[in-house]
Amino acid sequence: MILEARVGHVSTHPLDGRTVERIRLSSHDLAKRLLRVTTDAGREVGIRLPEGTELRDGDILWMDDRVAIVIDVLPEELLVVGPRSLREMGEVAHQLGNRHIPVQFADDLLLVQYDYLVERLLQELEVPYRRETRKVARPFRHVGHHHAS
């Protein structure tokens, strides 16, 4: 079975008693257009998405009267950073940007994939953070920027 599009999201499409087969993906895999995976029920599927499409946790890739195949993002180790001021946020963002470390925002928090060097940086800057295992909605992406020579 080749899945080529999203048919909905669990937040807006009721599953109405259907059996849910989950495709468990890392946040890194969410950015891939081509995947070969196995659902938690043992069904092998290929995913071939149009250019520019990103998967998200809860996306429904296939559904009939009995079964829905849904993306389930695996939780990962993150640093959840909670700067106390705009200045502190700017300092952290500047430091992480100089290291080309991808971040995501959740409310007033910065989410960074766990790295002991980033943790050490946050300790040196004395910025409040906590280590947490959680799902992310989107893949962490590096920005395609190059410094001038």
Q: Indicate whether 138 pLDDT > 90.
A: no
Let me know: does 16 contact 66? Beta carbons within 8 Å.
Answer: no
Percent of the chain clearing pLDDT 70 (strictly above): 94
Q: Indicate whether 137 pLDDT > 90.
A: no
Q: What is the pLDDT of residues 2-49, one digit of tens each?
A: 999 999 999 999 899 999 999 999 988 988 889 999 999 999 999 999
Mean pLDDT along residues 112-141: 92
Question: What pLDDT does residue 139 have?
Answer: 82
Give dist(CA 104, CA 102) in Å, integer: 7
pTM: 0.78
Question: What pLDDT does residue 35 have?
Answer: 94
- Look at the chain and count its residues: 149
Phi, psi of 71 (to 5 degrees): -75, 130
Q: What is the pLDDT of residues 58-84, one digit of tens each?
A: 999 999 999 999 999 999 999 999 999
Higher-pLDDT residue of 36, 145: 36
Question: What pLDDT does residue 145 have?
Answer: 47
* SS3 sequence of the chain: CEECCCCEECCCCCCCCCEEEEEEECCHHHHCCEEEEECCCCCEEEEECCCCCCCCCCEEEEECCCEEEEEEECCEEEEEECCCCHHHHHHHHHHHHHCCCCEEEECCEEEEECCHHHHHHHHHHCCCEEEEEECCCCCCCCCCCCCCC
What structural domains and CATH numbers belong to the chain? Answer: 2-73 (2.60.260.20), 76-134 (3.30.70.790)
